């Protein structure tokens, strides 16, 4: 699963997640064949550099069946203490992202060593 159409759809999904969460951005990383997390997409350049000083991030695992396949990270540009309801919302949005990935992949959301979902 790759190409401009998929990238556009993924960008829209991540922007929707960020908008629904009321955060500055969202990023998606999936496990590759060597179990390393690879960046798949982000709403902006800050998603690619989450180590930014003063940034607060909430990462939730993406689970397909019983297997962790990656993580969804929500972030703010300012320091922020995540409430229980925000963590729960992040987890629910993570579940929706898995459903979207499954739909885009036409089934299982395995990632390759290049970080591309297939």
Tell me the per-residue pLDDT of 31-55, one tens digit each, with 9 for 90 and over. Answer: 999 999 998 888 887 666 665 566 8
8 A C-beta contact, residue 18 and residue 43: yes
Query: Does the residue 69 lie in any domain?
Result: yes
Query: Does the residue 62 lie in any domain?
Result: yes
pTM: 0.78
Q: Which domain holds residue 68?
A: 4-105
Residue 3 makes CB contacts below 8 A (sequence gap 6+) with none
pLDDT at position 45, please? 76
Query: Does the residue 12 lie in any domain?
Result: yes
8 A C-beta contact, residue 113 and residue 31: no
Q: What is the mean pLDDT of the chain?
A: 84
Smallest CA-to-CA distance from 59 within 93, 36, 108 is with 93
Which tokens belong to 117? 């979902």
Print burial letters for 36-75: b (CB count within 10 Å at least 16), e (below 16).
eebebbbbeebbeebeeeebbbbbbebeeeeeebbbbbbb
pLDDT at position 48, please? 63
pLDDT at position 6, please? 78
pLDDT at position 5, please? 76
Query: Does the residue 31 lie in any domain?
Result: yes
Say yes or no to pLDDT of 83 above 80: yes
Number of structural domains found in the chain: 1
pLDDT at position 42, please? 87
């Amino acid at each position: 699963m790759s190409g401009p159409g998929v990238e556009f759809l993924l960008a829209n999904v991540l922007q929707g997640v960020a908008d629904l969460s009321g955060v500055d951005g969202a990023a998606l990383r999936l496990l590759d064949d060597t179990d390393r997390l690879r960046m798949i997409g982000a709403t902006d350049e800050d998603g690619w550099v989450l180590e930014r000083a003063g940034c607060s991030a909430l990462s939730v695992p993406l689970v397909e069946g019983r297997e962790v396949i990656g993580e969804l990270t929500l972030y703010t540009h300012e320091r922020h203490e995540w409430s229980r309801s925000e963590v729960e919302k992040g987890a629910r949005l993570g579940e929706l992202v898995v459903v979207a990935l499954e739909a885009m992949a036409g089934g299982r959301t395995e990632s390759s060593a290049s970080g591309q979902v297939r």
